[in-house]
Amino acid sequence: LPKTERWTQILVECKDNVKKDTKPLLGQIGRTQRDLGTGAGGDAIKSVDLAAENAIIRTLQRNESSFTVISEESGVVEYGGNPDKCYITMDPIDGTTNLMRGVPFYATSIAVSSKPELSAVHTALVTDLCHDLTYTARAGKGAFLQNRKIRPSETLGVEDGVIGVDLNGYRIQELAPRLSSLLGQTKHMRHLGANALELCYVADGTIDAFVDIRGRLRTTDMAAAWLILREAGATITTPKGDELEVGLDPRQRVDCIAAANGNIHERILELVRPGKEAE
């Protein structure tokens, strides 16, 4: 079996086990839960995050003798005697707050790479855990939702587009001037609360763009979606329009603009470029 095809099978097994192992905990939705410390990515850990992470690591260990995990929860952990042969970058549950509050939008995100660098990601999976819908991508082989090949939308403008914008993070006064042109022209602005999945919504044409310039997006949240977007034919860059070249690390933060096509991407870059607020 080709390497990325085999990895896709392993990632599907991982998300099946996440579903199975988190199911008993979903009855606690809506009830206040104790935080179990702080994860490597800086957020409070809930028992459901740990159950999901353990399900993935157990599945990886059954299939692979050696790997390095780069996780939002436990950080960087090496397994086996040859951990440099592959890197698994994951957010076991992206959108834990949605899960806890009963908002049906949260996901598991897992990316496999040969080096701890975003550009080396070769296999990716994001599963909408609420609806059991799985996005996958393999480098050079396209992106899929379930078994159907996906493509982004052909929407050209921001006016009639549906645009995801993450404004979380307590820096609204700083961010508002840069975002005001975009928000002023966007009739359908959204933030759904699980960035891995929201990025996949750009890849399959559900929405037209996703903008996160807070300086807070983690590589554990977006490594898998990055490949899914690129393989679907969407565009994802820095706010300056450059390739995203970052190391995979739970503490690494990135700004990104993901868009369905070059037209809408270019429009958004113009609207949010640094210095825009002075005009």
- Contact between 166 and Mg ion per CB under 5 A: no
Measured from the CB atom, is 72 or 249 closer to Mg ion? 72
Q: How far is the CB of 43 from Mg ion (least distance, A)?
A: 7
- Contact between 72 and Mg ion per CB under 5 A: yes
Measured from the CB atom, is 163 or 194 closer to Mg ion? 194
DSSP codes of every residue in 20-79: HHHGGGGGGTTS-----SB-TTSSBP-HHHHHHHHHHHHHHHHH-S-EEEEETTTEEEEE
- Contact between 91 and Mg ion per CB under 5 A: yes
SS3 259: strand
By beta carbon distance, the residue nearest Mg ion is: 91
- What SS3 string covers 102-162? CCCCCEEEEEEECCCEHHHEEEEEEEECCCCEEEEEECCCEEEECCEECCCCCCCCCCCCE
140: number of Cβ within 10 Å: 8
Q: How far is the CB of 151 from Mg ion (least distance, A)?
A: 28
Measured torsion, CA atoms of residues 255, 257, 258, 263, in degrees rounded to the nearest 10: -160
Measured from the CB atom, is 93 or 163 closer to Mg ion? 93
Residue range at the interface with Mg ion (CB under 5 A); choices 10-18, 70-78, 157-165, 228-236? 70-78
Measured from the CB atom, is 40 or 271 closer to Mg ion? 40
Q: How far is the CB of 93 from Mg ion (least distance, A)?
A: 5
Measured from the CB atom, is 161 or 250 closer to Mg ion? 250
Residue range at the interface with Mg ion (CB under 5 A); choices 25-33, 89-97, 121-129, 144-152? 89-97
Q: How far is the CB of 49 from Mg ion (least distance, A)?
A: 6
Measured from the CB atom, is 91 or 204 closer to Mg ion? 91
- Contact between 53 and Mg ion per CB under 5 A: no
Q: How far is the CB of 149 from Mg ion (least distance, A)?
A: 28
Residue range at the interface with Mg ion (CB under 5 A); choices 88-96, 108-116, 234-242, 260-268? 88-96
Q: Which residues contact 220 (CB under 8 A, 6 or more apart)?
A: 41, 70, 71, 72, 89, 90, 91, 109, 248, 250
Q: How far is the CB of 226 from Mg ion (least distance, A)?
A: 17
User: If 0-12 CB within 10 Å is exposed, 13-18 middle and 19+ buried, where does residue 76 land?
Assistant: middle
Measured from the CB atom, is 72 or 166 closer to Mg ion? 72
Yes or no: say if 277 and 177 are a contact pair by the CB < 8 Å rule. Answer: yes
Look up residue 244 and give its two tokens.
Answer: 């995203």
Q: Given the rule CB under 5 A, which residues bind Mg ion?
A: 72, 91, 93
